[in-house]
């Protein structure tokens, strides 16, 4: 695969831009790195380590990421009143060519005031697998509530509550109190503002909301708000195997 095509596939711009990066001496390949001078040089992309403008990258045919979403960001490419969560990612991840869209896409959304685990990818099958309600991928949320969490509220959440737009009761797969005002909910479907609306249906109110787990993936304690990392091959396989 030509070097300029490798750079293009990883989101570093058009082929013309990628050709220019090489010709301007801004790309090195391999470890230890050697200067790249020919944009048409044929290289094996799998496992290729390269540096662009001094930043180290490893070739990834498809991108699978986790992000610790902070409050105050929208999960939209065209946000309204709040900045986009995509601005927390490096430019190449936002520019990867991926079908009709460009760059990685969020697997589902979190409200602007909700924090926690967000997965992103440019693999359409992966996104569909995790976001489709028919696959019942569990997602764990921790809600801080305005009023004390009672046993009766937990029982109702487990039995099912009716939301405004759906006569069919919606229930939590699991629910338990973490302390007097904190509730942990596990859901297997994703409706609009679902946690907040379910808690409101049992006469309480969500004051803060955090997603800590998707499928078998926990948000690592050392991944700080606003930080991201690649998913490992084992993590991706585990999410797809459900």
Q: Are 47 and 98 in contact (CB under 8 A)?
A: no
**CATH code, domain with 87:** 3.30.70.580
Helix, strand or coil for residue 47?
A: coil
Tokens at 92, concatenated: 């190449």
Same domain (yes/no): 114, 226:
yes
Q: What is the CATH number of the domain that holds 36?
A: 3.10.290.10
Catalytic-labelled residue, pool 111, 113, 179, 218: 111
Both 37 and 83 in one domain: the answer is: no
Residues 208 and 142 in one domain: yes
Domain span at residue 189 reads 138-214
186-202 burial code (b ≥16 CB/10 A, e <16): ebebeeeebbbbbbebb
User: Are 155 and 206 members of one domain?
Assistant: yes
Active site residue 123: no
Q: Are residues 142 and 203 in the same domain?
A: yes
Number of structural domains found in the chain: 3
In order along its 242 residues, the chain shows pLDDT tens digits of 999 999 999 999 999 999 999 999 999 999 999 999 999 999 999 999 999 999 999 999 999 999 999 999 999 988 889 999 999 999 999 999 976 567 999 999 999 999 999 999 999 999 999 988 888 899 999 999 999 999 999 999 999 999 987 788 999 999 999 999 999 999 998 788 899 999 999 999 999 999 999 999 999 999 999 999 999 999 999 998 86
Structure tokens, 18: 């990628």
CATH code for position 178: 3.30.70.1560
47 and 84 in a single domain? The answer is no
**Cα–Cα distance for residue pair 129/9, rounded to 1 Å:** 23
In a shared domain, residues 230 and 117:
yes
């Amino acid at each position: 695969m030509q070097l300029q095509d490798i750079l293009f596939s990883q989101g570093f711009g058009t082929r013309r831009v990628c050709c220019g990066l090489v010709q301007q001496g801004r790309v090195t390949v391999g470890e230890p790195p050697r200067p790249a001078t020919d944009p048409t040089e044929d290289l094996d992309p799998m496992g290729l380590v390269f540096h662009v403008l001094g930043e180290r990258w490893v070739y990834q045919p498809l991108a699978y990421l986790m992000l610790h979403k902070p409050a105050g960001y929208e999960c939209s490419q065209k946000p309204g009143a709040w900045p986009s969560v995509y601005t927390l990612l490096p430019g190449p991840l936002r520019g990867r060519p991926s079908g009709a869209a460009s760059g990685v896409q969020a697997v589902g959304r979190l409200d602007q005031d909700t924090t926690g685990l967000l997965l992103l990818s440019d693999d359409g099958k992966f996104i569909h697998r995790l976001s489709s309600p028919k696959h019942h991928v569990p997602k764990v949320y921790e809600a801080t509530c305005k009023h004390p969490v009672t046993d009766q509220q937990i029982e109702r959440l487990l039995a099912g509550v009716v939301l405004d737009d759906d006569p069919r009761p919606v229930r939590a797969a699991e629910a338990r109190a973490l302390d007097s005002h904190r509730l942990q909910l596990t859901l297997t479907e994703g409706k609009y503002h679902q946690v907040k609306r379910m808690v409101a249906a049992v006469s309480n109110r969500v004051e803060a909301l955090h997603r800590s787990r998707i499928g078998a993936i926990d948000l690592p304690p050392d991944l700080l708000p606003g930080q991201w990392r690649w998913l490992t091959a084992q993590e991706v396989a585990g999410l797809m195997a459900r």
